[in-house]
Amino acid sequence: MMIHKRFLGILVGLVAVVAAFGQGARSFKISEVVVTNTDGLIDEYGERSGWIEIANTSWGTINIRSCYLTTNRAALNEELSVPERVKLMSLIPKGDSRTNLSAQQRIVFFADGRTNLGTLHTNFKLEEGKPNFIALFDGNGKTLLDSVTVPPLAENQAYARVHDTETDSYTWLVLDEDEVTPGSSNVGQGQVEDKVAEWKEKDPYGVAMSIIAMGVVFVALIALYVFFRLFGYAWSMLSKMSRVRAIRAVREQADKAAVMAKQGMETKGVDMKIYMALIAMALKEYEEDVHDVESNVLTYHTDEHSEWSAKGFTMREWPENLH
């Protein structure tokens, strides 16, 4: 029975972990793609190539390791087995801390067909002047996380997933070279850029921003002052209470010592408790030991003659037939 319970607990734990991981992986989205890169982002070796940006759209930290990227539409065939599908894709390897994406973070993979250059390089290239299908698969090699078909782009242009503030939805747009943002949010994505532009328009000299910033600082300082004042007052009260308790304990001990000294004077140095114990023992002996003390000697008195002590009875009789 115990073994069954343990097995059930392990099974439930594994299912929960797999479900949580699957749900987290679905937060990965293809965010931005550049096919022809002649004057933009460079890799670790100072070289330029087409690149694909993946965004973690969740508010938690998720690792994209063991996921797959591919430009082969054949990978969408559901009749393929996992080993057959994996052969058509580029694996994102383990062991690189850069694949651990925090909330809203992005990572760029270089589509240069040279996986020997490191974790951020794929085994395929993007085709210039043609549409490019790109798909992102989960680590199980079966679940499709996201996909997009990039239209033909000019040099250094990007195809990006941009947030539409009017409809509060995401749409794919072609961005010019000066709007390309590898590793950061795309132009118009979220509300940050729009809010900043609106704030600049309403407060061009930064007066309101300065007032708000100083207000926040002063409010924080006042809150800290109040907190430490209250904390100091509470600490001093606790210290006073502890001192009062210590003084009371000393006084109680002094009172007890005075009473014992007074009783010792009256009893010539013998503690009153000893007298009380002796009296209690005497009372107990008096109440329980009510019988007389016996001498263990028996005395027999009588006026009649008795033969029990006659000397003749102690002699042996002579045999009658003795001649």
Q: pLDDT (tens digit, 9 = 90+) per residue, 92-114?
A: 999 899 999 998 899 999 999 99
Task: Provide the pLDDT for residue 53.
Answer: 96
CA dihedral sign, ordered 304, 308, 312, 313: positive
Q: CA-CA distance, 100 to 42, in Å (whole number)? A: 21
| Statement: residue 38 has pLDDT above 50 | yes
Task: Provide the pLDDT for residue 305.
Answer: 57
Report the DSSP pairing between strands 62-63 and 100-101: antiparallel
Task: Provide the pLDDT for residue 22.
Answer: 45
| Statement: residue 191 has pLDDT above 50 | no
Q: CA-CA distance, 36 to 6, in Å (whole number)? A: 56
For tokens 């328009």, the residue is 201
Task: Provide the pLDDT for residue 186.
Answer: 82
Q: CA-CA distance, 8 to 163, in Å (whole number)? A: 44
For tokens 């994505």, the residue is 189
pTM over 0.75: no
Q: What is the mean pLDDT of the chain?
A: 81
Output 87 or 280, whichever has higher pLDDT. 87
Closest CA to 69 of 38, 18, 108: 108
Query: What architecture does CATH give domain 23-187?
Result: Sandwich (2.60)
Query: Sorting pLDDT into bands at 50, 70 and 90, what band is 49?
Result: very high
Task: Provide the pLDDT for residue 263.
Answer: 62
Mean pLDDT of 58-84: 93
Output 302 or 61, whichever has higher pLDDT. 61
Return the number of other C-beta atoms located less than 10 Å from residue 45's C-beta. 11
Q: Which H, E and C letters describe the chain, residue by residue?
A: CHHHHHHHHHHHHHHHHHHHHHHHHCCEEEEEEECCCCCCCCCCCCCCCCEEEEEECCCCCEECCCCEEECCHHHHCCCCCHHHHHCCCEECCCCCHHHEECCCCEEEEECECCHHHCCCECCCECCCCCCEEEEEECCCCCCEEEEEEECCCCCCCEEEEEEECCCCEEEEEEECHHHCCCCCCCCCCCCHHHHHHHHHHHCCCCHHHHHHHHHHHHHHHHHHHHHHHHHHHHHHHHHHHHHHHHHHHHHHHHHHHHHHHHHHHHCCCCCHHHHHHHHHHHHHHHHHCCCCCCCCCCCCCCCCCCHHHCHHHHCCCCCCCCC
Task: Provide the pLDDT for residue 282.
Answer: 80
Output 319 or 115, whichever has higher pLDDT. 115
Q: pLDDT (tens digit, 9 = 90+) per residue, 194-233?
A: 555 556 666 666 778 788 888 899 999 999 999 998 988 8
Widest pairwise Cα distance in the chain: 168
| Statement: residue 10 has pLDDT above 90 | no
Task: Provide the pLDDT for residue 244.
Answer: 86
Q: pLDDT (tens digit, 9 = 90+) per residue, 244-299?
A: 888 888 888 877 777 766 666 665 555 666 767 778 888 877 777 655 566 666 66
Q: CA-CA distance, 96 to 120, in Å (whole number)? A: 9
Output 58 or 282, whichever has higher pLDDT. 58
Q: CA-CA distance, 98 to 120, in Å (whole number)? A: 9
Task: Provide the pLDDT for residue 21.
Answer: 47
Closest CA to 128 of 155, 166, 158, 110: 155
Closest CA to 136 of 221, 222, 68: 68
Q: CA-CA distance, 91 to 122, in Å (whole number)? A: 8
For tokens 């749409």, the residue is 171
Q: CA-CA distance, 82 to 28, in Å (whole number)? A: 20
Q: How far is CA 307 from the centre of its chain?
A: 107
